[in-house]
Chains A and B, each alone.
Chain A
Amino acid sequence: MPAPKVIAMIAALAVMCGSALASPAASWPQVPRKRPLTRWLPGETKPEPSSPTALSSNAAPATPSAGLFPTLPALKLLPTTPTASSEPTSAPVVAPPASSVAPTVSVRSRLERDNGQFHLGEKIRLIVELSWVGEPGDVLPESPEEPALMNLTKRGMIQSSRMVPQSAGHAVVMTYLYELEPAAEGAAAIEPIEIRYRLRGSTDRLHLTTDRHTLTILPRRKPWGKIIGWTAAVLAAAGILAAGGMAIARRVKRAREAARVPPPPSPFEQMSAELDGVRKMFTQGVVKDGYDAIERFVRKALGLFLKSDFRHPTITELTERLAHESLDERLRDRAASILDRCMQVKFAGYTPTVADQEQVIADCRTFLEAMKEK
């Protein structure tokens, strides 16, 4: 359902409730309220309950200067003549009571902002209040006529009513909240609005007129918030992009550096280098340690190629494990044979000849080639 329709329905309901409450109100028992059902509009001053100037009762009508609007200047009694005013908040216009028991009805209009300066695109709120002291049904207002606007557009109107407790009785306030919007830069005005009403038990139509309001419409405000927000967003995005770019650049740099570092040698290359080292030991006459190195070579080569630890197992255990690794029987035997020769040198005091040394190196080379092919 569109919002204006909802607002209109709420307003209609409020009017109906006000009308319904109006007539039987006199017969209702007066229950003192601890908390007054009062809604104060923006810019209003809450009356002091103990103030001697507060409205007391219908029988003793309050003076215009003391009652609902104690901060306002003294009221001018201009019952039918509209009052033009450049003041954003005007003094209430008061109609004299029709009889000695009739309530005093007053109207007041004001703009939400005191200085009357609005920017293009801003909402302008005009608050028109019709008030009287007494019961809600004492005064029966009619819907106000459409305001005559200069350089302004009406967006909607909300009508509401409230009761303001007084020391004796209530003050009833009917509020008409006009929402307006500037049409263009320059001067603007809200012409007086005529508000018609009847008093209870009377058929006479009375009316009150609000003040004329002049406004100055300034150019549209620059959307600094949006500008700052967008700027911050753009800067943040730029920062993120820059950080991402730097990270990528760093990664690329690292990758390039890594590409420059030579890859670790393959097991075959590594073991070939070790075997060359052993050969050098033999050439230098370091035979016994050379055979120790041969034993380490075989165990390490098996470990590197089969990705397991073969440093500690006995030759028997090693052979069994190699069988489990599905290593070719000839390779197993070759490894065991090399290790056996190492054991002879190590534990049987065997001094290998140069031919033995060359043979064991050759066997190791063959073993390595076979492991590589596997």
Chain B
Amino acid sequence: MNPEIQAINERVKEESRFVDRIVGEISKVIVGQRYLVERLLIGLLCNGHILIEGVPGLAKTLSVKTLAGIIALKFQRLQFTPDLLPADLIGTMIYQQHDGKFVPKKGPIFANLVLADEINRAPAKVQSALLEAMQEHQVTIGEHTFPLPEPFLVLATQNPIEQEGTYPLPEAQIDRFMLKLNITYPNKKEERAILDRMAGGGVPPVEVVIRPEDIVRAREVAAQIYMDDKIKEYIIDLVFATREPKQYGLDDLANFLQYGASPRASIYLAQAARAHAFLRHRGYVTADDVKSVCLDVMRHRVILTYEAEAEEKTSDDVIRRVLDGIEAP
């Protein structure tokens, strides 16, 4: 192996030890949902935000809260409602009577892990304030600008049912989320384990496994993970296939795709693939890493046509077809 890659490989193995400990600790509380836990870690390692879609009761909040407890991160949960104001999120200036001055009062967004529950129930201005904070990693209150703590990860949830009275996120804002996860029901075996575990009532306590600074260091290592040119070409091919499917022999998708994935998709796909390799204790990215995260990175970045809707094709179907159609290196 190339000495540099060998060195990275060794360092990744060293720095990624906490992953198994985190997974082990989370599994004390959460049954199954390894997929969710791994994606949360990918978000943390890549400094990317996550949009979670799933019906209520799938332990989304519990997972995030448990993860925050394990990493000793400050966790805040925000329930988005139609009457929520930006100030309720980012904070406001408060008048102090004793000295007659306005002082900034930081909002709940000043946390490491922010769970924005049912983000599509708040009006556009609140969504916009949150997304701006996500992008800039800083918040301006009055005349003062405050940086957000590191790591800073927003996990927004959307309920796929009950769409009445909601404010769907615009495509441009959805694009700012690195990953969009579809959480599904646990299987029968997992459901039984949930039943047994929750019979005693209460959530088992978890231990702090790592500190936030370990996460920051792991980010640096993950960013150095070696990516072969073949993998880079593969990523480009996957993204371009969503824009020009005919060029890749995917003629059947031409009528289904209105807009393909943005360059942000290529960036995030590469980052997420590196983070996935980190979780697998590898210092290099394989095609498997790209395939593993491709759906989560791309599913909210392709816009389908009405024909696709009429044919009941989802973005997942289209991306799976792209993955089948593009030969992996």
Q: Does A312 interact with chain B (Cβ within 8 Å)? A: yes
B residues lining the A interface (CB < 8 Å)? 1-2, 5, 9, 226, 228, 230-231, 280, 282-289, 291-292, 324, 328-329
User: Is A348's CB under 8 angstroms from B2's CB?
Assistant: yes
Contact between chains at B288 and A348 (CB < 8 Å): no
Classify chain A's interface size: 10 to 19
Does A350 lie within 8 Å of B288, measured CB to CB? Answer: no
Q: Can you list 28 residue pairs at the A/B interface with Cβ under 8 Å?
A: A312-B324, A312-B328, A314-B288, A314-B289, A314-B291, A314-B292, A316-B288, A316-B292, A343-B282, A343-B284, A343-B288, A344-B1, A346-B228, A347-B228, A347-B231, A347-B285, A347-B287, A347-B329, A348-B2, A348-B5, A348-B226, A348-B228, A349-B1, A349-B2, A349-B5, A350-B1, A350-B5, A351-B1
Kindly list the 8 A-B residue pairs having the minimum CB-CB distance in the complex, ordered from nearest.
A314-B288, A350-B1, A348-B284, A349-B2, A343-B286, A347-B228, A347-B286, A314-B291
CA distance A211 to B326 in the complex (A): 111
Does B286 lie within 8 Å of A346, measured CB to CB?
A: yes
Query: Are B230 and A347 in contact, with the CB atoms below 8 A?
Result: yes
Instruction: Judge whether A348 and B292 touch: CB under 8 Å.
Output: no
Excluding A315-B286, A348-B2, 4 further A-B contacts by CB distance (< 8 Å) are: A312-B324, A314-B288, A347-B286, A348-B283
Instruction: List the B residue with the shortest CB-CB distance to A348.
Output: B284
Chain B contacts for A348, CB-based, 8 A? 1-2, 5, 9, 226, 228, 283-284
- Nearest opposing residue in chain A for B8, CB measure: A348
Question: Which residues of chain B are near A312, meaning CB under 8 Å?
Answer: 324, 328
Q: In the bound complex, what is the Cα–Cα distance between A350 and B283 (angstroms)?
A: 12
Chain B min CB distance to A302 (Å): 15
A-B contact count (CB 8 A): 48
A314 contacts across to B, CB distance below 8 A: 287-289, 291-292
Within 8 A of B (CB), among A47-77: none
**A133–chain B nearest beta-carbon distance, Å:** 97
Q: With both chains docked as a complex, state the minimum distance between the C-beta of B269 and any C-beta of chain A, in angstroms.
A: 15
Name the CB-closest residue of B to A343.
B286
Measured in the bound complex, the distance between the Cα atoms of B226 and A343 in whole Å is 13
Complex CA gap A72/B155 in Å reads 124
Q: Is B284 a contact of A344 with CB atoms below 8 Å?
A: yes
Whether the Cβ atoms of A349 and B228 lie closer than 8 Å is: yes
With both chains docked as a complex, state the minimum distance between the C-beta of B42 and any C-beta of chain A, in angstroms: 14
Partner of B284, one of A315, A316, A347, A351: A347
The CA-CA distance from A348 to B10 in the complex, in Å, is: 13
Chain B nearest CB: distance from A354 CB in Å? Answer: 16
Bound-state Cα–Cα, A312 to B5, Å: 26
**Distance A315 CA – B284 CA, assembled complex (angstroms):** 15
Question: What residues of A have a CB within 8 angstroms of the CB of B292 in the complex?
Answer: 314, 316
Q: Which of A323-367 contact B (CB under 8 A)?
A: 343-344, 346-351
Kindly report which residue of chain A lies nearest to residue B2, judged by CB atoms.
Answer: A349
Q: Report Cα–Cα, A312/B294, bound state, in Å.
A: 14
Residue of A nearest to B289 (CB): A314
A350 CA to B324 CA, complexed, in Å: 27
Q: Which residues of A contact B329 (CB under 8 A)?
A: 346-347
| Chain B: CB-nearest residue to A340 | B282
By a CB distance below 8 angstroms, the chain B residues around A349 are: 1-2, 5, 226, 228
Which single residue of chain B is at the shortest CB-CB distance from A342?
B286
Residue of A nearest to B291 (CB): A314
- What residues of B have a CB within 8 angstroms of the CB of A350 in the complex? 1-2, 5
A206 and B2 CA atoms in complex are apart in Å by 144
Distance between B13 CB and nearest chain A CB, rounded to angstroms: 13
Q: Can you name the residue of chain A whose Cβ is closest to the Cβ of B227?
A: A347
Measured CA separation A316–B289 after assembly (Å): 9
Q: Which residues of A contact B1 (CB under 8 A)?
A: 344, 348-351
Q: State the Cβ distance, A334 to closest chain B Cβ, in Å.
A: 17
Question: What CA separation (Å) do A348 and B231 show in the bound complex?
Answer: 11
Chain A residues in 8 Å Cβ range of B280: 316
Taken together as a complex, chains A and B put the C-alpha atoms of A346 and B282 apart, in Å, by 13
- Considering only CB atoms, which chain A residue lies closest to B38 in the complex? A316
- A343, B284: Cα distance in complex, Å: 9
Report the Cα distance A350→B9, complex, angstroms.
11
Using CB atoms, name the residue of chain A closest to B280. Answer: A316
Residues of A within 8 A of B328 (CB): 312
Complex CA–CA separation, A316 to B283 (angstroms): 17
Tell me, rounded to whole Å, the shortest Cβ–Cβ distance linking A357 to chain B: 15
Q: Determine the distance from Cα of A350 to Cα of B329 in the docked complex, in whole angstroms.
A: 16
Provide the bound-state CA to CA distance between A316 and B5, in Å: 22
Q: Which residues of B contact A315 (CB under 8 A)?
A: 286, 288
Q: What residue in chain A is nearest B4 (Cβ atoms)?
A: A349
A325 to chain B, nearest CB (A): 17
Chain A residues in 8 Å Cβ range of B9: 348
Q: Which residues of B contact A316 (CB under 8 A)?
A: 280, 288, 292
- Cα of A347 to Cα of B328 in the assembled complex, Å: 12
Give Cα A351–Cα B230 distance, bound, in whole angstroms. 17
B2–chain A nearest beta-carbon distance, Å? 4
CA–CA, A374 to B175, complex, Å? Answer: 49
CA distance A351 to B1 in the complex (A): 6
The distance in angstroms between the C-alpha atoms of A348 and B284, with both chains bound, is 6
What separation, in Å, do the CA atoms of A6 and B231 have in the docked complex? 105
Chain B residues near A347 (CB-CB < 8 A):
226, 228, 230-231, 284-287, 329
Tell me which residues across on chain A come within 8 A of B2, comparing CB atoms: 348-350
Closest beta carbon of chain A to B249's beta carbon, Å: 16
Residues of A within 8 A of B289 (CB): 314
Residue in B2, B288, B291, B324 with the greatest tally of chain A CB atoms within 10 Å: B288
Chain A's closest residue to B226 (CB) is A348
A350 and B5 alpha carbons, distance in the complex (Å): 9
- Expressed in whole angstroms, the Cα–Cα distance for A347 and B230 within the complex equals 8
Chain A residues with Cβ below 8 Å from B286 are: 315, 343, 346-347
| A346 and B228 alpha carbons, distance in the complex (Å) | 9
Distance to closest chain B CB from A340 (angstroms): 8
B299 to chain A: closest CB distance in Å?
A: 17
Min CB distance, A341 to chain B, in Å?
A: 11
Q: How far is the CB of A167 from chain B (nearest CB, A)?
A: 92
> Would you give the shortest CB distance from A150 to chain B, in whole angstroms?
100
A355 and B282 CA atoms in complex are apart in Å by 22
Question: In the assembled complex, which residues on chain A have CB atoms less than 8 Å from the CB atom of B287?
Answer: 314, 347
Tell me, in angstroms, the Cα distance from A227 to B2 when the chains sit together: 98
